[in-house]
Structure 1
């Protein structure tokens, strides 16, 4: 597994697969916190048009720009499919949120040479590393 804080420090845009409109879910509060600390967030959710006032895309393949970090808020069983798509598209890094673990997904990302983190919370790592991005 790659160094989480190093990956986060080198990331400016986070594509969040499974981003949620529900403020009670971590798939909403974590990306919102990252946005407030200067990261650009691109939500991926096939059931909404916008989250955080930002256009949401139905899948990774629909995001019309290179993928910096793919952040996964999907169940562990779904992680392999998300990682396959991220690898195919050429994501620079992949991050599975806390409690999301998938050994096959990890092997696939590592075989592709893509920095990979699993079972870690972006917001916690940001706070521990005292990281923020400069907006603008």
Structure 2
């Protein structure tokens, strides 16, 4: 069952490093503004987008597999039909504790696989909204 209680959401929001799959270089898009907000609130944001070289003055990685740093949370800004392969890539890593799909994005089968593998899953919720509500 995906995480939705305030206490469980706060636990995930207490992690430091967030890889944002689908991070955008275009201001005004949620996939840009939400990670920028997280960066401004102390998170180590790792942009993942095969079509960009730099976002927020940071190097951008083509895939989760290319990220050498430890990742606590994978935040997904891609269409629901792409979530399954992103979750599989996250499950290949031992360091990912949680997978978070942004508002309007969900894949129940992928979420179940992640939960079976011991990862926390948040679906169809905005990380910025939850941070403002529970932490800020």
TM-score normalized by structure 2?
Answer: 0.92
Say which of 86, 110, 118 aligns to 2:115. 110
1:50-75 CA-to-partner distances (Å, cap 9, x unmatched) read: 10101100000000122211000000
Q: Which runs of 5+ in 1 are unaligned?
A: 132-136
Match status 1:17 vs 2:21? yes
Say which of 61, 65, 71 aligns to 1:67. 71
Q: Which runs of 5+ in 2 are unaligned?
A: none
Q: Is the 8 A contact 2:17 2:70 kept in 1?
A: no
Match status 1:125 vs 2:134? no
> Runs of 4+ in structure 1 displaced over 4 angstroms?
none
Q: Could you say what the CA RMSD is over the residues aligned between the two structures, in angstroms?
A: 0.9
CA distance in 1, matches of 2:90, 2:135: 27
